[in-house]
């Protein structure tokens, strides 16, 4: 219902590179969440949640969900959920502007347990933040990440072909026109350094979160370093 409410009137055309990218990204984050829940993980934080419906789709007894988002986006989502009559009993909503607020402290006030393992998912958000803001955000999440936590994140990595560069440029124009300009594109090297400064390291491939294909697409699972 929420997806229809926010995007139901958008035209759907033949599968474009962007829709294929989004399908792969959705499948990656779905897999990470399902694995976490199957292993008994009891806390999930959706960072920059937007209209993500996973806290509703994957609601499970004993699991606490937290959605942290910009106050304006979260206000609109809550208004839509209320209008649609969708109850969210297992979701805590934490409003935070990552350019000024500390999401870790907001999570603590909302009841998040910093000593217990948490899965943080940060999908489609990094590109909209300046590198310095992203670093502060990830450091704040690290400060409330108990042992055994994971951070699944998608980042915009630098393009390898002229075709991808052209598509990126079209994407940047489209999101800027929609009022949410892209603010960062990382190289594999700058991303790894930024993660390390913020206290996160790449999860070993043995953890089974996906191999080369996903990291090439900029979908990563990190662990507290």
Ligand X SMILES: C[S@@+](CC[C@H](N)C(=O)[O-])C[C@H]1O[C@@H](n2cnc3c(N)ncnc32)[C@H](O)[C@@H]1O
| Calpha distance 124→13 (Å, rounded) | 22
Is there binding between residue 218 and ligand X (CB under 6 A)? Answer: no
Is there binding between residue 97 and ligand X (CB under 6 A)? Answer: yes
HSE-up of residue 40 (Cα within 13 Å, Cβ side): 2
**Residue numbers 115-134 binding ligand X by CB under 6 A:** 123-125, 128
Is there binding between residue 67 and ligand X (CB under 6 A)? Answer: no
Is there binding between residue 99 and ligand X (CB under 6 A)? Answer: yes
Least separation in angstroms between CB 154 and ligand X:
8
With CB under 6 A as the contact rule, the residue among 98, 195, 200, 219 that binds ligand X is 98
Question: What string marks each residue from 131 to 150 as x (binds ligand X by CB under 6 A) or -?
Answer: --------------------
Least separation in angstroms between CB 97 and ligand X:
4
Q: Which is nearer to ligand X, 101 or 113 (CB)?
A: 101
HSE-up of residue 148 (Cα within 13 Å, Cβ side): 13
69 and 96 in contact (C-beta within 8 Å)? yes
Is there binding between residue 52 and ligand X (CB under 6 A)? Answer: yes
In 2-119, which ranges are continuous DSSP H helix?
2-7, 17-38, 54-57, 71-84, 103-109
Is there binding between residue 36 and ligand X (CB under 6 A)? Answer: no
Q: Which of 58, 16, 8 is nearest to 167 (CA)?
A: 16
Q: Which is nearer to ligand X, 62 or 175 (CB)?
A: 175
Under rule CB under 6 A, how many of the chain's residues touch ligand X?
15
Least separation in angstroms between CB 200 and ligand X:
18
Q: Dump the DSSP string for 116-161.
A: S--EEEE-S-GGGS-HHHHHHHHHHHHHT--TT-EEEEE--BPP-S
HSE-up of residue 116 (Cα within 13 Å, Cβ side): 13
Question: Which positions touch ligand X (CB under 6 A)?
Answer: 48-50, 52, 69-70, 73, 96-99, 123-125, 128
């Amino acid at each position: 219902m929420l997806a229809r409410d926010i995007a139901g009137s958008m035209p759907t055309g033949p599968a474009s590179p962007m829709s294929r990218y989004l399908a792969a990204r959705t499948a990656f984050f779905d897999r990470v969440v399902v694995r976490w829940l199957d292993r008994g993980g009891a806390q999930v934080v959706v960072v920059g949640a937007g209209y993500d419906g996973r806290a509703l789709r994957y609601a499970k007894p004993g699991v606490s969900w937290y959605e942290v988002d910009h106050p304006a986006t979260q206000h609109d989502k809550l208004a839509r959920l209320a209008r649609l009559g969708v109850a969210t009993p297992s979701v805590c909503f934490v409003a935070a502007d990552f350019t000024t607020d500390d999401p870790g402290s907001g999570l603590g006030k909302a009841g998040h347990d910093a000593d217990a393992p948490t899965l943080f998912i940060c999908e489609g958000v990094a590109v909209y933040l300046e590198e310095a803001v992203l670093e502060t955000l990830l450091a704040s999440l690290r400060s409330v990440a108990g042992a055994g936590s994971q951070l699944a994140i998608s980042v915009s990595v630098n393009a390898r072909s002229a075709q991808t560069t052209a598509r990126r440029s079209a994407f940047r124009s489209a999101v800027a026109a929609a009022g949410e300009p892209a603010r960062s594109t990382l190289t594999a090297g700058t991303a790894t350094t930024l993660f390390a400064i913020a206290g996160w390291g790449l999860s070993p491939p043995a953890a089974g979160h996906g191999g080369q294909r996903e990291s090439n697409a900029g979908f990563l699972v990190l662990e507290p370093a």
